[in-house]
Structure 1
Amino acid sequence: MYKQYDVIVVGAGHAGCEAAHAAATMGSSVLLITMNMHTIAQMSCNPAMGGVAKGQIVREIDALGGMSGIISDKSMIQFRMLNRSKGPAMWSPRCQSDRMKFAEEWRYALEQNLNVDFWQEMVSELLVENNKVIGVKTQLGIEIKAKAVVLTNGTFLNGLIHIGEKNFGGGRTAEGKATGITEQLVRLGFEAGRMKTGTPPRVDGRSLDYSKMEEQKGDESPNKFSYLDTKPLSEQRSCWITYTNQAVHDELKTGFDKSPMFSGRIKGLGPRYCPSVEDKINRFADKDRHQIFVEPEGWNTVEVYVNGFSTSLPEDVQYNALRKIPGFENVKMFRPGYAIEYDYFPPTQLKSTLETKLVENLFFAGQINGTTGYEEAACQGLMAGINAHQKSENKADFTLNRSEAYIGVLIDDLINKGTEEPYRMFTSRAEYRTLLRQDNADIRLTQKGFEIGLASEERVKNVNTKIEQSKFLTEELKIKKVKPDEVNNILESLGTSTLREGTSLLNLLKRPNIGIEELKTLTPEVEELIRNYSTEILEQVEINVKYESYIEKEQLMVEKVSRLENLLIPESFDYSKLTTISIEGRQKLAKIKPATIGQASRISGVSASDVSVLMVYMGR
């Protein structure tokens, strides 16, 4: 019954699902082990995918051949492109999801993959011989062998849930915690820590008065995540916005003495950029209100997610405070918010493939690495699944660098800098964000996904067509000229300078006041030319034309930095002989063992002069 697998994935959240799907699609036999088959791909917190920088990650997962984009498209109830008022490097797709349909679609996708088997039970131990993982042992004492193991335990490792003065073990509300693995890994020499996250109460949408809130609709022409032919939404559900007030804050303060966060009962650090509501009113005492997003949980449910009201205060304090929010006067609460503490392992203990340095063939992905967010977890799962397959087949490592993907930025940050608080991706973390846009993830990554056997041939054909059509339209815009008497009246009405002589459409498109839509209005011939191309192609061409100089500048920076990435450091290099660099730099280099000079330069605590000394010792 228990055959040997190529890859065992422990945990079936966002990271686990992507890991299992990737390894299985590439040809590995995969066993996905979960404590509960009914909670595969459950959205434990907010019912949404994407957002600032996170939307770019979902598109990158899709471009490589992962499933998060497809699943999101099939289960979304609203779509918005965030930051449209800013430059295209900041545009970020986000959707509201149907929580139940999201999980259903993920399970269906995994069940359709014949290389994926399932097992419902807790893994209590790893089977390790000579610092190499060879399988897992379950709570029932069953030993299952594998060439590689991916741990994606989420918040379940010694999870502890807090509501006011009450606390109890669990990895999620109404679910048990996972024990045994942390203790074993610590015995094997791993460093472990504790982190905290939280979630808001869920309420009955029938008990809310939406007339007292601001409606937040989706985009008029909703887009989607996947580069495949998933269907965009034809109808959408609105979200709503309301605000806390002084009465809400006063009510919340009555429970501060019972707050597990303020009393010190919670030891782990929580996410800086997603604080609890009690933390917000404590830290930002000058603010008399905080925004609350009222988000429906799906098409066919009345359950509502109260985004912005994450809390671990006593349930009666939560309820009384909710009732003082405009529109919530008669609210019925389905379940209270809570905080959860869990074990994680500082990610400086990982290689760039997400394989651990201490135990061969063992990979970590998701919150076990100190990250927060579905998207951050999913992309780590994808990369760990790919590399677990590659390792089991004795194939080359698959990594992405900082200039290729937000995924590369995230993993590079984690393994070099580590994190002492839940790590969340932002566009500001990427130094090449003009190159790493949401619109070109397929151009950047699909060929790479295809070469390792993950992205389909259909995806490659799609991206090649996109590249060819974009080039063709750019050439047509360069060739097509317009005369002053044809367009000057329109140019004047657009608030841009008129022409003295004929010029190309490409030159006009470079002007800040003129986009593709404005070009269409110049002449019927131009309108007919542009009408032949899809919105995707038009967007791609406009961005490339308008931001050409910025793109070229970043590409030159990439080329300069890549020279350092090509300078490999021998794995056996003895950093103790670098007596002329700082003690901190020496210790960090010895601990992390960077693979290249480029990686060494990004380690926290390693200075530019330290890197120069290292290069001298290497004969550079």
Structure 2
Amino acid sequence: MTYIAETIDVAVIGGGHAGCEAALATARMGHKTSMFTMSLDSIAMMPCNPNVGGTSKGHLVREIDALGGEMGKNIDKTYIQSRMLNTAKGPAVHSLRAQADKVKYSHKMKEVLEQTENLSIRQQEIVEVQVEDGKVKAVVTSTGAVYPCKVVVLAGGTYVRSRCLTGEHIEHTGPNGLKTSNTLSDSLKALGIELRRFKTGTPARVDARTVDFSVMEPQHGDKRIVPFSFENKEDDIKRDQYPCYLTYTNEKTHQIIRDNLHRSPMYSGVIEGVGPRYCPSIEDKVVRFADKERHQVFIEPEGENTTEMYVQGMSSSLPEEVQLEMLRSIKGLENVQVMRTGYAIEYDCINPMQLKHSLELKNIEGFFSAGQMNGSSGYEEAAAQGLVAGINAALKVEGREPMIIDRSEGYVGVLIDDLVTKETREPYRMMTSRAEYRLLLRQDNADLRLTQKGYEAGLIKEERYVKFVEKRAAIEAELERLKTVFVGTSEKVQAILEAKGSTLLRSGISLSEILKRPELEYDDFKEVDTDRPELPLEVIEQVMIELRYEGYIVRQQRQVEQFKRLERRLIPKDINYDDVYSLRIEAKQKLEQVRPISIGQASRISGVSPADISMLLVYLEQKGRMEKAQNDEKEEC
């Protein structure tokens, strides 16, 4: 028996990281939104690692903030350790990573959701999405409540027909033993949506009171705290930090694992889903890297008010007693007690090639999908998709064009383009190597790249936008000013250079040129640059990066121009690929499956070669000439 409960604009299915960003975006953009979650206690829960950010993922979090999302602000409120990774390398791969207090992170996000205008949170299971004439009509709960709506954002995470496996023990639950959604998959299949089965996993949690930290290597946070949110300053969020600890597996650990591989559901054939290649279980690591004598294991705190610690690097689905044995073979964990046993979890997700770049399904208007439902892994990837899906859902309601971020504009664009264009046969993880233009897509300039888009969509408020415009203008002005300020061969200048171990000058040179030297810093010339303005550190950092990497940046900008040209070469929606002469059968099949919107997107499809693209360009050129000739003929008549 069903009944009409309430008419809403937006229904968000799921209260994880994707669902939270989507619901906040649509509500903040002024649309009546309901977020449906299996449990109010699991909102923004971190069922796996207790951190936000990391290599390439830190880029995503800062881009989320630049667009007007919440993840960066929330981790700034709840971190217990902060570190900038890869600082020995160039700024393109610098990535911020923070350990989170998992409970506080979830509670703070729930608090923000509850206080957001236009947003209601409901502990209800969605079992059906109703579609009429190819458009979203309503969502239906397990209790029979029908919520008519204009758009839906599907963000079910790993809760859709999920099951957890520890050795021979199988539980049909979601993460941390929470309820799973067993009916929604049937509704999605009935709508013609192709589903896949993926797998991920998590390690054991151990009691800190049973760990010998004295024999491990402490890993401390940074003294200088860099906020994730561009709206925060260091002094706003600085606090005492908690250390992590490093230890290693050994040959005994590996032998225990090898002796019990037959009991791992991954190797016994019990698990149907495909696991993540770039975040393997300890069983996978021991098998795939048999020549390695040891693997890193990080013991990480899960919060301020708990003794639970996360065993990073030891994800496992081996039986409980085997997990305990292998943990106790590791230095510092000889007497460890396990508080939560590790497990593998497999779940349903959709084939993301069914989506547009806006994250709307190609065959159902108003139906968006985000997060691990799209075959990705990680909190940050989920949140980024949730934000984009939420923004575009709101724009759909408003009748506006979708916000599309391309590969040259952000890691968010790389993530989404990879998902909807390239065949993803395993959980997708963001990496810096996936971004062709990573020198331009640094985490430090995410606001300069994307705040304008967030403002135009309606998520960035006027006050923040004005500050952003001022910052951008200050950077541009200082870069221009430094070109006009010259230093000569005075004793003071030469003394500065000598003190820094830099080559002395033979003639005058502009500050913009001399500051390109890697051993010199902006403040080195403050005594001779008497007219320089007082600038905040974030502006100075941008100026120095632009100066030092100018040649590389200019080169990548040229590459981006070429990329943009291919993106502008649009492919007609009604194209019949069978008509394209000399196009290989595989290419025809792949192009028909993806239905790319541009030559640029077509060139990134796996199975479509450069020769295929050439044939496609020739066909479009000839077709364009024929259509022009026909139009000219009509005009003459």
TM-score, normalised to structure 2, is 0.94
Write out per-residue CA displacement over residues 286-342 of structure 1, whole angstroms, 9 at most, x where no aligned residue.
111110111111122211111001000011111121112111122111110000011
Matching residue within 60, 65, 68 for 1:62: 65
Matching residue within 112, 116, 119 for 1:116: 119
**Contact persistence 1:271–1:422 (CA under 8 A):** yes
Write out per-residue CA displacement over residues 40-90 of structure 1, whole angstroms, 9 at most, x where no aligned residue.
000111111111111111111100101111011111111111111111111
Matching residue within 199, 202, 212 for 1:196: 199
- Give the AA of the match of 1:444: R
1:512 aligns with 2:518: yes
Write out per-residue CA displacement over residues 134-188 of structure 1, whole angstroms, 9 at most, x where no aligned residue.
1111111211111011111111111011000111111112212111222222233
Matching residue within 463, 467, 474 for 1:458: 463
SS at match of 1:110: helix
Aligned partner of 1:167 in structure 2 is: 170
**Contact persistence 2:136–2:151 (CA under 8 A):** yes
Q: C-alpha separation between the residues in 2 aligned to 1:289 and 1:563? A: 48
Q: C-alpha separation between the residues in 2 aligned to 1:502 and 1:53? A: 41
Matching residue within 496, 500, 515 for 2:502: 496
Write out per-residue CA displacement over residues 196-233 of structure 1, whole angstroms, 9 at most, x where no aligned residue.
10000011112111111101111111111101136232
**Contact persistence 2:199–2:347 (CA under 8 A):** yes
SS at match of 1:86: coil
**Contact persistence 1:162–1:312 (CA under 8 A):** yes
- Give the AA of the match of 2:558: L
Aligned partner of 1:400 in structure 2 is: 405
- Give the AA of the match of 1:44: P
Shift of 1:531: 8.5
Matching residue within 585, 588, 604 for 1:586: 588
Aligned length in residues:
616
Q: Percent identity?
A: 49
1:423 aligns with 2:425: no
**Contact persistence 1:63–1:227 (CA under 8 A):** yes
SS at match of 2:513: helix
1:6 aligns with 2:9: yes
SS at match of 1:89: helix
**Contact persistence 1:354–1:383 (CA under 8 A):** yes
- Give the AA of the match of 1:514: L
1:611 aligns with 2:613: yes
Shift of 1:129: 1.6
Q: C-alpha separation between the residues in 2 aligned to 1:112 and 1:530? A: 44
Shift of 1:574: 1.5
Matching residue within 289, 294, 297 for 2:299: 294
SS at match of 1:377: helix
Q: C-alpha separation between the residues in 1 aligned to 2:419 and 2:548? A: 34
**Contact persistence 2:358–2:392 (CA under 8 A):** yes
Q: C-alpha separation between the residues in 2 aligned to 1:424 and 1:495? A: 42
**Pairing of 1:79-478 with structure 2 (within 5 A):** 79-229=82-232, 231-478=236-483
**Contact persistence 1:254–1:317 (CA under 8 A):** no
Q: C-alpha separation between the residues in 2 aligned to 1:280 and 1:60? A: 32
> Which has the higher mean CA deviation after the structures are superposed, 335-344 or 591-600?
591-600
Q: C-alpha separation between the residues in 2 aligned to 1:109 and 1:392? A: 23
Q: C-alpha separation between the residues in 2 aligned to 1:79 and 1:229? A: 14
Q: C-alpha separation between the residues in 2 aligned to 1:609 and 1:375? A: 36
Write out per-residue CA displacement over residues 585-606 of structure 1, whole angstroms, 9 at most, x where no aligned residue.
1111111111122211211111
Shift of 1:525: 4.3
Matching residue within 552, 555, 561 for 2:554: 552
**Contact persistence 1:78–1:233 (CA under 8 A):** no
**Pairing of 1:38-53 with structure 2 (within 5 A):** 38-53=41-56
**Contact persistence 1:223–1:232 (CA under 8 A):** no
SS at match of 1:261: helix
Aligned partner of 2:635 in structure 1 is: none
- Give the AA of the match of 1:212: V
Shift of 1:490: 3.5
**Contact persistence 2:206–2:308 (CA under 8 A):** yes
Aligned partner of 2:597 in structure 1 is: 595
**Contact persistence 1:367–1:377 (CA under 8 A):** yes
Shift of 1:523: 5.8
- Give the AA of the match of 1:390: L
Q: C-alpha separation between the residues in 2 aligned to 1:139 and 1:299? A: 37
Q: C-alpha separation between the residues in 2 aligned to 1:413 and 1:64? A: 20
Shift of 1:550: 1.1
SS at match of 1:581: coil
- Give the AA of the match of 2:319: P
- Give the AA of the match of 2:292: K
Q: C-alpha separation between the residues in 2 aligned to 1:615 and 1:279? A: 44
> Which has the higher mean CA deviation after the structures are superposed, 53-62 or 456-465?
456-465
Q: C-alpha separation between the residues in 1 aligned to 2:535 and 2:546? A: 16
Matching residue within 572, 590, 593 for 2:574: 572
Aligned partner of 2:78 in structure 1 is: 75
Unaligned regions of 5+ residues in structure 1, if any?
A: none
Q: C-alpha separation between the residues in 2 aligned to 1:523 and 1:421? A: 53
> Which has the higher mean CA deviation after the structures are superposed, 177-186 or 20-29?
177-186
Q: C-alpha separation between the residues in 1 aligned to 2:587 and 2:521? A: 49
Shift of 1:479: 3.3
Matching residue within 534, 537, 540 for 2:536: 534
**Contact persistence 1:486–1:522 (CA under 8 A):** no
CA RMSD of aligned residues (A): 1.6
Q: C-alpha separation between the residues in 2 aligned to 1:114 and 1:460? A: 21
Q: C-alpha separation between the residues in 2 aligned to 1:123 and 1:280? A: 38
Shift of 1:472: 3.1
**Contact persistence 1:30–1:116 (CA under 8 A):** yes
**Contact persistence 1:202–1:335 (CA under 8 A):** yes
Shift of 1:8: 0.2
Q: C-alpha separation between the residues in 2 aligned to 1:530 and 1:341? A: 58
